Amino acid sequence: MTPTGCHPRLGYDCAQIMSNHYPERLGLAICIRPGSVFKVAWQAMKPFLPPATASKVCIVGNKSQLQPTLERYFSQTMTKWILDEYKSNRRKPESSRYRPFWMPQPDDEGGNPDPRGEKHYVEEWITTRHSSGHLPHPNVLDYVSGKLRASLSFSEPIDVLEVDLNEEDENCELDEATAGKILASLPEEYQIPANAEKLT
């Protein structure tokens, strides 16, 4: 993540779109080890967000906080699924193509999480029609009903690089003075406009 890819102006513009067109849609956003660049952008745009929205953003700065944070908000099985997904996404893929999210994990790839969700969710909301009327993503439904077939081959091997999940956490704690200096050094097009309004 770089300042040009994650900067205050981009964050503010995205927040403005969400505020104007999708108000009060956010339940909770958990940012896992986002790094110092994100934290600088977050510190710059947070004052422009409604307090109720800002309070729904939970930043997990290191691995030791991750599981306790997830357990605070999710069931044990969902917490395990998220942790497995996190670990899976930290590895270099074994194939040169990504498996579409609507396809279940093949039986021969045991140990990898089902990309559609944890087991209870898949059983209650995808493979059967839930009584609430909730429908999963159309691609998931089309794949389950046989309307959508996988046309990609996932058998192209590439070198596998296992990532050490016990690597040191990036030191992303920034004091306000340091964050302020970094913000001031960004080009003007990456800054939040001086006349920016507080979002409601």
pLDDT digits (tens, 9 = 90+) for 64-122: 899 999 999 999 999 999 998 888 777 665 555 556 777 777 665 556 778 888 888 88
CB 58 within 8 A of CB 29: yes
**For residue 171, what are the β-bridge partners?**
none
In this prediction, residues 141-145 reach a mean pLDDT of: 79
d(CA 120, CA 112): 16
Work out the widest C-alpha separation in the chain, in whole angstroms.
Answer: 57
Cα 107 → chain centroid:
26
Report whether pLDDT(162) > 60.
no
Segment holding 29, helix H or strand E: strand 29-32
How many Cβ atoms sit within 10 Å of the Cβ of residue 179? 17
Listed in sequence order, the residues at least 6 apart from 195 whose beta carbon sits closer than 8 Å to its beta carbon are none
Residue type, 90: R
What is the pTM for the complete model shown? 0.64
In this prediction, residues 5-14 reach a mean pLDDT of: 80
Listed in sequence order, the residues at least 6 apart from 38 whose beta carbon sits closer than 8 Å to its beta carbon are 1, 6, 31, 172
Report whether pLDDT(26) > 60.
yes
